[in-house]
Amino acid sequence: MIRVGIVEDDFRIASIHQQFLESVDGVKVVWQALRAKDTWEMLEKQPVDLLLVDVYMPDQSGIDLVRELKVDFPSLDFIIITAATDRELVAQSLSAGAFHYLVKPVELTKLQEVIERYQQRRLFLQESLYADQEEIDKLFVHAAAVKEDETNLPKGIHPLTLQKVIDIVNSLTEGTTAEEVGERLGASRTTARRYLEYLIAEGKMRAELEYGIVGRPERKYFGL
């Protein structure tokens, strides 16, 4: 479960973002902070893994807040959410260590994609003692390259997550279910099934119905 805090001075926008986030499996919004100064107190009381931070806060720049929080909470991750599209702000956010930069108004599908990427990175870092160059490249892939890949994929399908699904299925030679893929991916069964069915439609995977002793047949997925 990824614990999230929202730093946003407009409570209406904060509530919308919370609703978006809580529609993603494996995510729990722990608190909201309406001021940058409130964030410190909230973190001391209830630590989180990820913060969604607005740039223009009434008492401090969100980017300056991120830089300061990183000193005392080095493992804390950030996603910047703002209406600003200034290239300088994007550069400052990258320099401050933000995981991503989202422009308001944020679409649910886009936020879901970013959270899925974040879940994938956390899962990899938590479970893997060693990494080969290919796995490292996936983590450090340049944003422009990701964007280029995304243009060739339907909405809701992210290239990094897609490759992870392929790797999972190919490693399980006896087949697997959407539920199992979701567990290994750190995502919901619905998300896993979306990727699996896309791969079948593209001819990169196959599925069979497996009949058990009781209950409905189960759909199992196999690599080619």
Look up residue 12 and give its DSSP letter: H
For residue 71, pLDDT over 60 is answered with yes
Looking at the structure, do residues 91 and 135 belong to the same domain, yes or no? no
Q: For residue 140, what pLDDT is reported? A: 60
- The token pair that represents 193 in the structure block: 């099934």
Q: Where does the pLDDT of residue 122 fall: very low under 50, low under 70, confident under 90, or very high at 90 and above?
A: confident
Work out how many domains the chain is built from and give that number. 2
Looking at the structure, do residues 129 and 69 belong to the same domain, yes or no? no
Final residue of a domain: which of 106, 141, 164?
106
- pLDDT tens digits, 95-118: 888 899 998 888 888 888 889 888
As a whole number of angstroms, the distance between CA 211 and CA 52 comes to 45
Alpha helices in the chain (DSSP H): 11-22, 36-45, 62-72, 87-96, 108-127, 133-139, 143-150, 159-171, 178-185, 189-201
Looking at the structure, do residues 100 and 130 belong to the same domain, yes or no? no
Looking at the DSSP bridge assignments, the partners of residue 28 are 3
As a whole number of angstroms, the distance between CA 160 and CA 70 comes to 26
Length of the chain: 224
Final residue of a domain: which of 106, 133, 157?
106
Q: For residue 143, what pLDDT is reported? A: 45
Final residue of a domain: which of 106, 135, 156?
106
Structural domain boundaries enclosing 134: 124-223
For residue 133, pLDDT over 90 is answered with no
As a whole number of angstroms, the distance between CA 168 and CA 186 comes to 12
Q: For residue 135, what pLDDT is reported? A: 66
Q: For residue 152, what pLDDT is reported? A: 63
Domain-embedded: residue 75: yes
As a whole number of angstroms, the distance between CA 111 and CA 20 comes to 8
CATH number at residue 11: 3.40.50.2300
Looking at the structure, do residues 153 and 215 belong to the same domain, yes or no? yes
- pLDDT tens digits, 143-192: 444 444 444 667 777 776 787 888 888 888 888 999 998 888 777 888 88
Domain-embedded: residue 117: no
Looking at the structure, do residues 67 and 22 belong to the same domain, yes or no? yes
Q: Name the pTM for this structure.
A: 0.61
Min mean pLDDT across 16-20, 45-49, 73-77, 159-163 is at: 159-163
Domain-embedded: residue 114: no
CATH number at residue 178: 1.10.10.10
Mean pLDDT of 53-64: 92
Domain-embedded: residue 118: no
Looking at the structure, do residues 143 and 202 belong to the same domain, yes or no? yes
For residue 214, pLDDT over 70 is answered with no
Looking at the structure, do residues 74 and 35 belong to the same domain, yes or no? yes
Please list, residue by residue across 143-174, b when 16 or more beta carbons sit within 10 angstroms of its beta carbon and e when fewer do. eeeeeebeeeeeebbbbbbbebbbebbeebee
